[in-house]
Amino acid sequence: MDDENEPVAIYVTFPDMATAEAIGGAVVEEGLAACINILPQMRSIYRWKGAISRDDEVVGIMKTRRARVEAIVAAIEARHPYETPAIVVLPIVGGSRGYLDWIVAETSG
């Protein structure tokens, strides 16, 4: 598989389930991601603008291919309510060949 078609996972945090579903649904409908898994009830502790914050958040894990990374990050940032959303691209180094092929097929349109 060439580099552009390598599957990747994108980890994103959201303020709530409704935001995760809206943004995740949009990027799947646009063919930028094959799917999103939404995990509710996460607690984040972080430093922001000099203060420690503690917030409940929702995690989204989107699956796409490397060629779509720039477009999906831009699409998330354009819709996300955070000033600086947490968006991290993670390589997928292996897995079920059928599943990985499905990710590529779903994001190749």
Q: What is the pTM of this model?
A: 0.93
In the block, residue with structure tokens 């990027």 = 27
Is residue 2 pLDDT above 90, yes or no?
no
N-to-C CA span, the chain? 17
Tokens of 108: 């190749």
Are 13 and 34 contacting, i.e. CB atoms less than 8 angstroms apart?
no
Share of the chain above pLDDT 70, in %: 99
What tens digit of pLDDT does each residue of 62-109 get? 999 999 999 999 999 999 999 999 999 999 999 999 999 999 999 997
**DSSP string across 34-101:** SEEEEEEEEEEEEEETTEEEEEEEEEEEEEEEGGGHHHHHHHHHHH--SSS--EEEEE-----HHHHH
Q: Which domains does the chain have, with CATH numbers?
A: 3-106 (3.30.70.120)
Beta bridge mates, 87: 12
